[in-house]
Structure 1
Amino acid sequence: MMTVLGIVIFFVGILLSVAWHELGHFTTAKWFGIKVPEFMVGFGKTIWSRKRGETEFGLKAIPLGGYIRMIGMIPPAPGSDSALGRTRRTGPFQGLMDDARRQSAMDVAPEDADRQFYLRAPWKRVVVMFAGPFMNLVLAVVLFAIVLMGFGVRTYTTTVSEVSACVLPATVAADGPPPQCPADAPPTPAAAAGFQPGDKIVAFNGTPYEQDDWRGMQEAIRSSSGTVTVTVERDGQRLDLTPTLITTQLRDLDDPERIVDASFLGLSPLDEIQRKDLPAVAGEIGSIISRTGEAIIALPSRVPALFGSVFLGEERDLDGPIGVVGVSRIGGEILAQDIPVGQEIAFFLQLLAAVNISLFLFNLLPIPPLDGGQIFPALWEAVKKRIARLRGRPDPGPVDVAKLLPVAYVVALVFIAWSGLLLVADVINPVRLFQ
């Protein structure tokens, strides 16, 4: 029951994020006098709607996104002989483009002729289209700030929680509580050097480390060799301990499935909930944006593994793409865990913030029908107008975005196929963060 409740709550959170995104488009469009007949969350058949003023607000049956409909998104073609954009040109996609132009023109009542999207200055169109993704970024920043500064996050510190008594293979040391040391197992460098639980490491080989920089400490240990000097605080006193590192097999810090040879000390860190400051929030946002951007770029390379997880029974990649159903299911798993309520809420908010970062970056891709597919033509139009003015030539007019419709249809078909594959994978072979 808690899992189902968690799925429902997180799914509602995603829908609210979509509505928040569309609110950015809607608000800026109204600021610039553009008429917006529809504001919808979802696609397909309308299941609920209410009209407020000149805009119909509603929910549709397929909750895989949302949209607002602004009049005049497609300008008349250059050389049109009527307001409906009829031209005498021919081509393999000309009928498709002409139909779209006619439909766009038919949405415009005579009294709204000056409220069309394409009539606004390029910078205004950029603002309208960028406002949606920007709202997702704002929401992500707010959610991360609430988590990091309000709830705090579990952080591995440089305070020693446990000193390993002996050196064990990486595959054994990672499975559950440490087993009894075999008679022939050598002591760890930390045990031999006299480390104790509660020691706070303040410096390694003369380099100071912040209390929350256990990862930096790990990297320093693994990249060193021989006898090193570790400065610790114990009972209010500073001591220099001189362990001699050994090289053994360890799990890679970035890929725990991979075993590497590295230097080993034999300490476990104390983890605690720490509240962060504003610079930490900015750093976390930057890190998430970077990792999410890399993941989006790598999406095509993830297709074979996703296909294998659906049709070949292969194990699902924990770092691979997850759809709306999958991420909602993870939200359900979080709520079903036997952990403090505060931690559950923090997990929820972090996950929702990560979804909003993905929406921010994905929608900025310069391909139709995404928001970036309207931003790029507007920027190109601004460049053309500027060049024309410098050369003393007439205004070249709006960029003919109808020419991008074939690309938009192809992208839409790819997106539908991709969403379907993700949906099947999330149902039959879901990603599970908690086993």
Structure 2
Amino acid sequence: MVTVLLFISGVLFVAIGVVVSIALHEVGHLLPAKLFNVRVSRYMIGFGPTIWSRKKGETEYGFKAIPAGGYVAMIGMYPPNPVDGSVRPSSTGMFQTLATEARSLAHEDVRPEDSNRVFYRLPVWKKIIIMLGGPAMNLLIGIVLTGVLLMGFGSAQATTTLSQVSACQVAYGQPEPADHSTCTKTPAAAAGLLPGDVIKTFDGRAVTNWTTLTEWIRASAGKSVQMSYQRGGETITTAITPVLTARPVVDANGNAKVDADGKPETVSAGFIGMGPTSALVPESAAAVLPAVGNNIAQIGGVVFHLPQKLVGVAQAAFSSQPRDPNGPISVVGVGRVAGEVASMEQVPLSSRIATLIGLMAGVNLALFVFNLIPLLPLDGGHVLGALYEGARRTVAKLFKKKDPGAFDIAKMLPVTYVAASLLMVMGALLIYADIVKPVNLFG
């Protein structure tokens, strides 16, 4: 019963965190819009029927029934009909009708006194600031949460205390055999090392961290070296000879690298068959931004290869193939992971809280990256439209031509509907996959 309640608490943590993140994202649009005197008619969290709202000043604030996003409604998002300045249909073509209807909606709340408070009349730089306000808010949340995680709780770092000693020598990526009596012992097992031993020296050099020790071991294949370790109150010295075998290639963060096919990259190096314990070690403020940058780079890689990743998700969802643990997941998958983390009663509470905070930091950084994709209806698409408007106005000015005016982004609505449909299909696929074939992060 306790485990179930802990699982539910983890899911609720993510659900509330996502809603708050969405709300603050929209605040990121709302504040600069009001600063630049654009009239904001509605600030809503969710979509569909309104379940609660209250009007304060000229803006209605509220919650919708479907908490799958949010929006800030600014009057005059699209300019009037470029032909006659109206917002009524000037053509019966399907695309023109879509654009005209959008202009009508954008101007339905415009009053005569609001002529200078419509969005489309803003300078390009103000439009960009408003549209980048939402992603910038998610970035700020991600930085703050990463700071809380690294400076308050610390990052998990390998110590020089052993957590495990492998009994058998096996090829990298292969499991140990059930019967240890017939296998070739690892150098660590042959030397009598046990979990809980603390490595003190290796080849006459003091061991201060696991990363350096690993480098020394990898460089000592086939060489007999003296190694000392502490067990209880006793220091023991033994001779050990690392064996040459395939080992994973790791990056600066200690993560195994993979090739273009998703297979681990390996290199021949020394190996003795032991693993470290980990501990949370608080870091300085200087570590926060590099950590955020690394996280954004990883998320950007997933987004860049999103079509390929989605094919893999679809194949896994409708077959016996496993999910890629580094692939995209939906908010349902994030909630499931949070529930699993919260219910791990054998893990210290501080470590579980730290993991949940890191999870929400990752969600916000993912929202930051995803919303910068230059496609409507995402914020990046609006930014691209503003940049195009600025570019064509600059060109017109250079060639002393008439100012072309605001770019009618309503013309891009067919592309918007296609992109929105694809986003909904993507979301449905990820939710389905997270239900029938969830990502397994904990073995």
Q: Deviations over 1:70-127 (max 9, x none)?
A: 111111243x214325546x75511211221222222311121211111111000100
1:311 aligns with 2:318: yes
Paired letter, 1:137: L
Q: Which residue of 2 aligns with 1:359?
A: 367
Contact 2:330–2:427 (CA under 8 A) maintained in structure 1? yes
Contact 2:169–2:186 (CA under 8 A) maintained in structure 1? no
Distance 1:123 1:189 in 2: 63
Paired letter, 1:18: I
Q: Which residue of 1 aligns with 2:135?
A: 133
1:96 aligns with 2:103: no
Deviation at 1:31, TM superposition (A): 0.4
Deviation at 1:305, TM superposition (A): 2.4
Work out which of the residue numbers 268, 271, 285 in structure 2 matches 1:262.
268
Distance 2:168 2:267 in 1: 14
SS of equivalent to 1:430 = coil
Deviation at 1:45, TM superposition (A): 1.7
1:71 aligns with 2:78: no
Contact 2:89–2:97 (CA under 8 A) maintained in structure 1? no
Distance 2:420 2:140 in 1: 27
1:109 aligns with 2:111: yes
Q: Deviations over 1:27-65 (max 9, x none)?
A: 110000011111111112222222111111111122221
Distance 1:147 1:394 in 2: 54
Contact 2:28–2:134 (CA under 8 A) maintained in structure 1? yes
Of residues 404-413 and 423-432 in structure 1, the stretch that sits farther from structure 2 once superposed is: 423-432
Deviation at 1:344, TM superposition (A): 1.8
Aligned length: 424
1:402 aligns with 2:410: yes
Of residues 265-274 and 114-123 in structure 1, the stretch that sits farther from structure 2 once superposed is: 265-274
The within-5 A match list for 1:21-420 is 21-78=25-82, 80-84=83-87, 86-87=89-90, 93-157=95-159, 159-161=160-162, 164=165, 167-170=168-171, 182=181, 185-186=184-185, 188=187, 197-200=197-200, 211=209, 214=211, 218=214, 221-222=217-218, 225-227=221-223, 244-250=241-247, 253-254=256-257, 260=266, 262-263=268-269, 264-338=271-345, 339-420=347-428
Deviation at 1:383, TM superposition (A): 2.1
TM-score, normalized by length of structure 2? 0.84
User: Identity, % of aligned pairs?
Assistant: 36
Structure 1 residues 197 and 221, CA gap change in structure 2 (3 angstroms): same
Deviation at 1:378, TM superposition (A): 1.0
Contact 2:197–2:229 (CA under 8 A) maintained in structure 1? no
SS of equivalent to 1:320 = coil
Contact 1:163–1:190 (CA under 8 A) maintained in structure 2? no
Contact 1:325–1:426 (CA under 8 A) maintained in structure 2? yes
Distance 2:133 2:225 in 1: 53
Contact 2:81–2:87 (CA under 8 A) maintained in structure 1? no
Distance 1:81 1:147 in 2: 56
Of residues 350-359 and 415-424 in structure 1, the stretch that sits farther from structure 2 once superposed is: 415-424
Contact 2:169–2:183 (CA under 8 A) maintained in structure 1? no
Q: Deviations over 1:121-171 (max 9, x none)?
A: 1000100000100000000110011011001122113x2526848652147
Of residues 61-70 and 367-376 in structure 1, the stretch that sits farther from structure 2 once superposed is: 61-70
Distance 1:172 1:99 in 2: 58
Contact 1:188–1:266 (CA under 8 A) maintained in structure 2? yes
Structure 1 residues 74 and 246, CA gap change in structure 2 (3 angstroms): same
Structure 1 residues 186 and 20, CA gap change in structure 2 (3 angstroms): same
Distance 1:173 1:314 in 2: 18
Distance 1:12 1:54 in 2: 28
Distance 1:144 1:172 in 2: 32
Q: Deviations over 1:171-212 (max 9, x none)?
A: 79866xx988647725517966999932346x9999x9973x
Contact 1:72–1:117 (CA under 8 A) maintained in structure 2? yes
Contact 1:85–1:105 (CA under 8 A) maintained in structure 2? no
For the aligned residue pairs, the C-alpha RMSD in angstroms reads: 3.6
Distance 1:86 1:209 in 2: 77
Paired letter, 2:343: A
Contact 1:205–1:228 (CA under 8 A) maintained in structure 2? no
Distance 1:295 1:81 in 2: 45
Distance 2:64 2:227 in 1: 62
Contact 1:163–1:191 (CA under 8 A) maintained in structure 2? no
Of residues 180-189 and 137-146 in structure 1, the stretch that sits farther from structure 2 once superposed is: 180-189
TM-score, normalized by length of structure 1? 0.85
Contact 1:18–1:65 (CA under 8 A) maintained in structure 2? yes
Distance 1:345 1:5 in 2: 11
Distance 2:348 2:247 in 1: 32
Contact 2:168–2:183 (CA under 8 A) maintained in structure 1? no
Q: Deviations over 1:208-245 (max 9, x none)?
A: 9973x62x75467547755498998989xxxx999654
Distance 1:389 1:111 in 2: 30
Contact 1:143–1:349 (CA under 8 A) maintained in structure 2? yes
| Unmatched tracts of structure 1, length 5 or more | none
Paired letter, 1:283: P
Paired letter, 2:187: T
Paired letter, 1:161: L
Q: Which residue of 1 aligns with 2:234?
A: none
